[in-house]
């Protein structure tokens, strides 16, 4: 109703009280229509053959490694730039994933985010891979579906990984993960429990809530998820996508 759509409606539905996930809040509207809330299950969004082949070609050119494929998406929208984890933290995390777990680290990026991805790769000592430019959501979805682990901040691709049921680590700073976090039983949220976080600000001049999260903390969460799901999925055995 905050966007003014209440002016065009003649019936209001009160959502459940308290902090609940946005998905749960939206699904609560169905009760007014006599529809039972559906059971959530990971799904495979429709992806074109062209988008799937585009990512498969990239993976084949990158070579077949023996370690887990970890896709890291460090960017956010420019509007949400204050939610970004520092590039140097991602670089240190990438090195730990390669050195201690033998992971193949791929840095994905969206429009205007290429400098961020290149900065991370430039700071890594162990080496990683730059994802190809993804011009469609289908291409990004296909890339994420091939990953054994997806790591990101509070951003749109995080929800794609959640929808796919891909194991993921979400790095949260100012926003409330109870409301905006992954809707995925395979997800771990890493955040700092600070007095000022979570908050509803749209900008911040210190963002201690995000900068104080260490690469070691994220690595522990990543290692736990990878160990739990070891050998269950590889880049060559990703969940089939609908065409």
- Whether the per-residue pLDDT at 236 is higher than 80: the answer is no
What mean pLDDT do residues 182-193 have? 91
Per-residue confidence (pLDDT) for residue 203, from 0 to 100: 77
- Whether the per-residue pLDDT at 225 is higher than 60: the answer is yes
Per-residue confidence (pLDDT) for residue 243, from 0 to 100: 35
**Residue pair 181/163 in contact by the 8 Å Cβ criterion:** no
Structure pTM? 0.86
106-164: per-residue pLDDT in tens? 999 998 899 999 999 999 999 899 999 999 999 999 999 999 999 999 999 999 999 99
Per-residue confidence (pLDDT) for residue 61, from 0 to 100: 77
What mean pLDDT do residues 100-110 have? 95
Burial, 97: exposed, middle or buried (Cβ in 10 Å; 0-12, 13-18, 19+)? Answer: buried
**Residue pair 235/59 in contact by the 8 Å Cβ criterion:** yes
17-36: per-residue pLDDT in tens? 888 888 888 888 888 888 88
More confident position, 15 or 64 = 15
What mean pLDDT do residues 158-183 have? 92
48-86: per-residue pLDDT in tens? 999 999 999 998 877 656 789 999 999 988 877 888 999
Question: Measured in whole angstroms, how far is the alpha carbon of residue 46 from the centre of its chain?
Answer: 19
At 96, is the secondary structure helix, strand, or coil?
helix
34-45: per-residue pLDDT in tens? 888 777 777 777
**How far is residue 235's CA from residue 193's CA, in Å, rounded to a whole number?**
35
Per-residue confidence (pLDDT) for residue 234, from 0 to 100: 44
**Residue 204 pLDDT class (50, 70, 90 cuts):** confident
Per-residue confidence (pLDDT) for residue 232, from 0 to 100: 54
Per-residue confidence (pLDDT) for residue 190, from 0 to 100: 96
The total number of residues written for the chain in this structure: 243
> Which stretches of 3-128 are assigned E, i.e. beta strand?
69-73, 104-107
More confident position, 27 or 201 = 27
- Whether the per-residue pLDDT at 211 is higher than 80: the answer is yes
**Residue 235 pLDDT class (50, 70, 90 cuts):** very low
């Amino acid at each position: 109703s905050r966007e003014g759509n209440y002016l065009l409606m003649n019936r209001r539905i009160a959502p459940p009280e308290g902090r609940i996930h946005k998905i749960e809040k939206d699904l609560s509207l169905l009760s007014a229509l006599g529809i039972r809330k559906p059971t959530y299950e990971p799904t495979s969004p429709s992806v074109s053959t062209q988008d799937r082949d585009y990512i498969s070609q990239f993976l084949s050119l990158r070579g077949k490694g023996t370690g887990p494929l970890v896709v890291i998406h460090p960017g956010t929208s420019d509007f949400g730039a204050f939610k970004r984890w520092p590039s140097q933290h991602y670089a240190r995390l990438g090195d730990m994933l390669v050195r201690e777990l033998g992971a193949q680290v791929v840095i994905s990026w969206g429009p205007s985010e290429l400098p961020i991805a290149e900065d991370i790769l430039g700071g890594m000592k162990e080496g990683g891979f730059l994802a190809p430019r993804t011009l469609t959501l289908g291409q990004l979805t296909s890339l994420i579906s091939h990953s054994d682990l997806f790591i990101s901040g509070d951003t749109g691709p995080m929800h794609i990984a959640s929808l796919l049921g891909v194991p993921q680590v979400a790095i949260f700073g100012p926003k409330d993960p109870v409301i905006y976090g992954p809707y995925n039983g395979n997800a771990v949220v890493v955040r700092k429990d600070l007095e000022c976080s979570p908050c509803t600000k749209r900008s911040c001049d210190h963002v201690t809530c995000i900068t104080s999260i260490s690469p070691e903390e994220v690595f522990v969460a990543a290692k736990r998820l990878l160990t739990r799901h070891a050998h269950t999925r590889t880049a060559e055995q990703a969940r089939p996508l609908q065409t």
